[in-house]
Amino acid sequence: MIDSFKHKGLRKQLVEIVREKGIENEDILDAIGKIPRHLFLDSSFLEFAYQDKPFPIGSGQTISQPYTVAFQTALLEIRQGDKVLEIGTGSGYQACVLEELGAKVFSIERQKKLYLKTKKFLAKLGYKAKIFYGDGYKGLPAFAPFDKILITAGAPKLPDTLVSQLKDDGMIVIPIGKRDIQIMTRFIKGSDGNMRKEGHGTFRFVPLLREMAND
Under the rule (CB under 6 A), what is the footprint of ligand SAH?
A: 61-64, 87-88, 90-91, 93-94, 108-111, 114, 135-137, 152-153, 206, 208-209
Say whether 191 is catalytic.
no
Q: How far is the CB of 191 from ligand SAH (least distance, A)?
A: 29
H-type alpha helices, the chain: 5-20, 26-34, 66-76, 93-100, 112-125, 160-164
> Cα 113 vs. chain centroid, distance in angstroms?
18
C-beta of residue 176 within 8 angstroms of C-beta of residue 185: yes
Q: How far is the C-alpha of 166 from the C-alpha of 13, rounded, in Å?
A: 36
Ramachandran angles phi, psi of 32, nearest 5°: -65, -35
The residue among 192, 190, 188 whose CA lies nearest residue 173 is 188
Q: Which of 4, 44, 64, 107 is catalytic?
A: 64
Q: For residues 65 and 170, which CB has a smaller minimum distance to ligand SAH in the complex?
A: 65
Q: How far is the CB of 84 from ligand SAH (least distance, A)?
A: 12
> Cα 40 vs. chain centroid, distance in angstroms?
13
C-beta of residue 122 within 8 angstroms of C-beta of residue 86: no
Q: How far is the CB of 164 from ligand SAH (least distance, A)?
A: 17
Q: For residues 107 and 191, which CB has a smaller minimum distance to ligand SAH in the complex?
A: 107
Q: How far is the CB of 208 from ligand SAH (least distance, A)?
A: 4
Q: How far is the CB of 118 from ligand SAH (least distance, A)?
A: 8
- Amino acid in the structure at residue 194: N
Q: For residues 153 and 171, which CB has a smaller minimum distance to ligand SAH in the complex?
A: 153
Give the DSSP H or E segment for 204. none
C-beta of residue 66 within 8 angstroms of C-beta of residue 1: no
The residue among 39, 60, 59, 61 whose CA lies nearest residue 50 is 39
Residues designated catalytic: 64
